[in-house]
Amino acid sequence: MVGLVVFKLDSPILVLLVCVAYISVLGAISTSMLFEEFKTKYLLSDGQVLGMSVDFEQKQISLRLNARVLNGKKAERCEIKLHLNESFELDLVDTLDMEWHSDMVFIRLENGEFYLSFDPFGNSGLPNDSDNFVIKCKGVELFHDGKQYKLE
């Protein structure tokens, strides 16, 4: 049964409490995280791509990754999800038998776009025309432990 309840919100504090309750019901609140902070806190090398989905309508690629997160000085295994938004390039030629990746490249290009490769050519840490499993996008969102972060 669906009902409509109308409240008279005559207090700014009451309005704030209602808004906070509504947002908490909707799920995680998105906050920003600097890309450099992400790279120092989350380690994607020596990880694993667990799953990938492409939503052509939303222009979004979702990756589920086995990564590591730094907890103090200790790196602990964790599962994270990345939403790569406004994807404009996906280059994947693979047999998909790669269980773990040791090297990877995840950088922000000079034009502000993100570049991600799970099968880079060489160990330079920079984009290369011979890289494989490449995704370029304009926006990245991180989901971990029930929290959502937009990488800036």
- pLDDT class for 87, splitting at 50, 70, 90? confident
Q: How confident is the model at residue 108 (pLDDT cuts 50, 70, 90)?
A: very high
Give me the phi and psi of 16, to 5 degrees please. -60, -45
Q: For residue 76, what pLDDT is reported?
A: 95
In the structure, what pLDDT confidence band is assigned to residue 124 with cuts at 50, 70 and 90? confident
Beta strands in the chain (DSSP E): 30-33, 42-55, 60-71, 74-85, 89-91, 105-108, 114-119, 132-137, 139-144, 147-151
User: Is residue 116 within 8 Å of residue 135, measured between CB atoms?
Assistant: yes
What is the rounded CA–CA span in Å between residue 8 and residue 3?
A: 17
Residue 29: the pLDDT is 56
pLDDT at 12: 53
75 has a pLDDT exceeding 70: yes
pLDDT in tens, 38-55: 999 999 988 889 999 999
CB 104 within 8 A of CB 116: yes
Range with the poorest average pLDDT among 31-40, 57-66, 92-101, 123-132: 92-101
Q: Answer whether 47's CB lies under 8 Å from 65's CB.
A: yes
The answer to whether residues 149 and 42 touch, using CB atoms and an 8 Å cutoff, is no
Q: What is the pTM of this model?
A: 0.77
Query: What percent of the chain has a predicted confidence (pLDDT) above 90?
Result: 53
Nearest to 70 by CA among 61, 80, 83, 60: 80
